[in-house]
Amino acid sequence: MAGDVDALAHLLKTISSRDRYGSDITLYGLRRALVEVLTFFPVYRSYVSPQIYDTADRQHIQESVRKAREANPGLLHELNFIERFLLLNVGAHTAAEDKHQWIHFVMRFQQLTGPLMAKGFEDTLLYVYNRLLSLNEVGGDPGQFGGGIDQFHAYNGNRARRWPHAMNATSTHDTKRGEDARARINVLSEQPHEWEKALRLWSKINAPARPVLRGQAVPDRNDEYFFYQTLIGAFPLQTEQSRDFLERLKAYIVKSVREAKVHTEWLKPDQAYENAFVAFIDKILCPSESNRFLGEFLPFARKVAYHGMLNSLSQTLLKIFSPGVPDFYQGSELWDLNFVAPDNRRPVDFSRRVEMLDNLRRQEAGCLGLASQLLAQWEDGQVKLFVIYKALRFRRAYKELFLDGDYLPLYAKGPAQEHICAFARHKQGQWSLVTVPRLTTKLTTPKNPPVGAAIWNSTSIMLPQGAPDKWINILTGEELEPCRTGKDRGLLMDAVFHEFPLGLLVVLCY
């Protein structure tokens, strides 16, 4: 974005020529100093205006200039001058026209930091730094490696107080991968040793398939690591989902390596590297009995996909009932395993979704076991659609409870307590309780769904004071009553998760 930086530097030079502290500063020096400040700017943009200049914006500007000074002490004079402008430290005798020009410069500066962050962070760094791709998301931080239950509740409590009607979104038109692909990749963080072992084996098996270009094997190790995570997140488990998968995957990989700008880029594509990478993909994904990679990859991918499915269902329920207003990106009513745009903007088969929803409505009448049946055939995505349908219908019936109700963190006790995330919503006489499983790779296997006493043993959720004594699980129709442990009242998890591993509970009179 050199042209934009040049324009900003020329604007500042024009203004500085009328300032006694800036008349000797060269255009070259201003440009270099601006580049450094822009490089260190920690957020997408500030929101300074003639009427508003809050503390957070001031701190962001001061932080970026401080880091620029530390990195480039030779630009101290220029950086001090730019900081004065950005902080609007105008002198008492500055003319009104000059003050207007200072503000105009700050507004132009703000217009540049946003797209610069988008190109430098979203469209470059997130394709280069590949530790765990589910962290590489728009608005995210690859350095923030998960969080605990207390952190989750603190975040939700703050959101309930400050932004109770903000949007809860898990996919948008601009996310780097579909929400369910991200949920799958998250599973890798639960089993790092198995993941490392699989990686080493796959890389060894596929080494002969890597073409050599200019003395280097393609893809390089970082791109190969990116590719395996991508495959884990998006690999289709049903035949109808796999028809165009290979072509979509290859197009996505070419886009990814161009965005990374290491071996190729949009302005100067290295088609030799891109073609070699595509040839590698064709070779290792060719379906045949002799393809050892697929024989090793598929069992691991299916296991990850199963636990990713549980992650996705938990994420869906939490999104709907946590403080905020849930948003659903087009197509995410079923498994969303899309790649970045334009892949996630392909036409959605809404007729199929309408047909599935109509079928679920017919089946749910008098069928207490529908949820567990859908869980057993989870690959087709109907179980996610069922959870969304039941949860949104319930949310609509209790609209005020979820828009403005209190948020009450709940905690589990017992041998499987670390595997439970739960909270209640309360407003006047209305109550709802949401509970989901977490970290399921340490809890169960794809052959044993996380339901029943064998999994949950004596684990229970402690209820807050004033909570009702009779509940019904909206997702299964099962009725529940608390048990007592001393002075505490709790719901046994083997009852809540008796046949389905999600709990959406409401007072029995619902």
The string of pLDDT tens digits covering residues 256-304 is 999 999 999 999 999 999 999 999 999 999 998 889 999 999 999 999 9
Nearest-5° Cα angle at 56, 55 to 60: 120
Structural domain that includes position 490: 394-507
Q: What is the pLDDT of residues 427-460, one digit of tens each?
A: 988 999 999 999 999 999 999 999 999 999 999 9
Average pLDDT over residues 148-171: 96
pLDDT at 239: 65
The domain boundary residue, chosen from 92, 122, 152 = 122
The domain boundary residue, chosen from 103, 122, 141 = 122
Q: What DSSP assignment string belongs to 253-304? A: HHHHHHHHTSS--SSS--HHHHHHHHHHHHHHT---TT-HHHHHHHHHHHHH
pLDDT at 49: 83
Average pLDDT over residues 297-323: 97
Cα dihedral 412, 416, 418, 424 in deg (nearest 10): -30
Neighbours of 385 (CB within 10 A): 20
Least confident of 20-34, 75-89, 337-351: 20-34
Q: What is the pLDDT of residues 116-137, one digit of tens each?
A: 999 999 999 999 999 999 999 9
- Which of 105-119, 141-155, 332-346 has the highest average model confidence (pLDDT)? 332-346
Indicate whether 326 belongs to any domain.
no
Whole-prediction pTM value? 0.91
Separation of alpha carbons 505 and 44, rounded Å: 40
The values of phi and psi at residue 146, to 5°, are 80, -175
Torsion-angle region of 465 (φ positive above 0: left; ψ -120 to 50: alpha; else: beta): beta
Least confident of 192-201, 225-234, 359-368, 436-445: 359-368
Nearest residue to 451 via CA among 492, 422, 392: 492
pLDDT at 342: 95
- Residue 355 pLDDT > 90, yes or no? yes
Indicate whether 378 belongs to any domain.
no
Torsion-angle region of 477 (φ positive above 0: left; ψ -120 to 50: alpha; else: beta): left
Indicate whether 69 belongs to any domain.
yes
- Residue 211 pLDDT > 90, yes or no? yes
Q: What is the pLDDT of residues 214-237, one digit of tens each?
A: 999 999 999 999 999 999 999 998
pLDDT at 94: 66
Indicate whether 112 belongs to any domain.
yes
- Residue 20 pLDDT > 80, yes or no? no
pLDDT at 21: 65
The domain boundary residue, chosen from 102, 122, 142 = 122
pLDDT at 25: 82
Query: Can you give the CATH number for the domain in which 422 is found?
Result: 2.60.40
- Residue 23 pLDDT > 70, yes or no? no
Cα dihedral 312, 314, 319, 320 in deg (nearest 10): 110
Strand, coil or helix: 95: coil
pLDDT at 91: 65
3-state helix, strand, coil in the chain (%, to 5): 55, 10, 35
Average pLDDT over residues 171-183: 96
**pLDDT tier at 92 (50, 70, 90 boundaries)?**
low
Q: Are strands 479-480 and 471-473 parallel, antiparallel or unpaired?
A: antiparallel
Tokens of 448: 């044993």
Say which residue, 428 or 350, is predicted with more confidence.
Answer: 350
Q: What is the pLDDT of residues 375-399, one digit of tens each?
A: 999 999 999 999 999 999 999 999 9
pLDDT at 240: 61
Indicate whether 131 belongs to any domain.
no
- Burial class from Cβ neighbours inside 10 Å (0-12, 13-18, 19+) for residue 200 reads exposed
Report yes or no: 213 and 274 within 8 Å, Cβ to Cβ. no
- Residue 10 pLDDT > 70, yes or no? yes
Nearest residue to 6 via CA among 26, 48, 34: 34
In DSSP terms, 423 is beta-bridged to: 409, 434
Average pLDDT over residues 24-44: 91
Indicate whether 272 belongs to any domain.
no
pLDDT at 172: 94
Mean pLDDT over the full length of the chain: 92
pLDDT at 141: 86
Number of domains in the chain: 2
Indicate whether 237 belongs to any domain.
no
